[in-house]
Structure 1
Amino acid sequence: MPTPTEHARLALELRLNVHAETRWPQLARLQIRHRGQFAYVAGELSGGDTVKLMRLRYTGTGSRWGFALHDAGDDRYRDALLPTGTATGTPEDALDCACLLHPAALAD
């Protein structure tokens, strides 16, 4: 399995943070940690609580990542399809999907 370069990891973080600032003002910031081919993304709310959102899997290109939603019931990540019907997509599409599925945590 390919692992992202440092450049790809930094580019992912920049893309997600810029998108979160413009689309998801409920998030004070994103917490992104990398492990091998995966990037784990959590959102920090303005009150200080943290919500695990998703896991992205590097596919060899920085423009398309595999997508898994966090299942709070058993604290695991489950591969999921994006609204486009595909299992891979842009990091921004993945963040939108994950945030839309956490309405209670991200409500204004």
Structure 2
Amino acid sequence: MIPLMRLRYGGYASVWGFAVYLGSSGKYQDSALPNGNVASSPEHALDCACGLYLADPTAWQQRPTN
């Protein structure tokens, strides 16, 4: 298993902080989402972390609404 991120409970089931794992140092770095929020849903945190590791910015961009 490869570390990717960790979640920190924010007091509500839908509000979590997150930290991205830095392979270069073996530590976690508190992070903010691309929209500037430091807490959000676990899904948004995972999208952001995966996008960073996979170099895919579309992972955290807003999907167009019709």
TM-score normalised by the chain length of structure 2: 0.76
Q: How many equivalent residue pairs?
A: 55
Find 1:59's aligned residue among 2, 7, 10.
10
- SS of the residue 2:5 aligns to: strand
1:84 partnered with 2:56: no
- SS of the equivalent of 1:96 reads helix
Structure in which a larger fraction of residues adopt strand: 1
| Alpha-carbon shift at residue 51 of structure 1 (Å) | 2.3
Distance in 1 separating the partners of 2:24 and 2:7: 19
The CA distance in 2 between the partners of 1:51 and 1:82, in whole Å, is 21
Any idea what the Cα deviations from partners look like across 1:37-87, whole Å, max 9, x if unmatched?
xxxxxxxxxxxxx32111110011110101110000111110011112111
The runs of at least 4 consecutive aligned structure 1 residues that moved more than 4 Å come to none
Aligned match of 1:10: none
SS of match in other structure, 1:99: helix
Higher-Rg member (1/2): 1
> Which of the numbers 14, 17, 22 marks the counterpart of 1:71?
22
C-alpha RMSD of matched pairs (Å): 1.2
Long gaps (5+) in structure 1: 1-49
Structure 2: any 5+ residue segments left out of the alignment?
56-66
Distance 2:31 2:40 in 1: 11
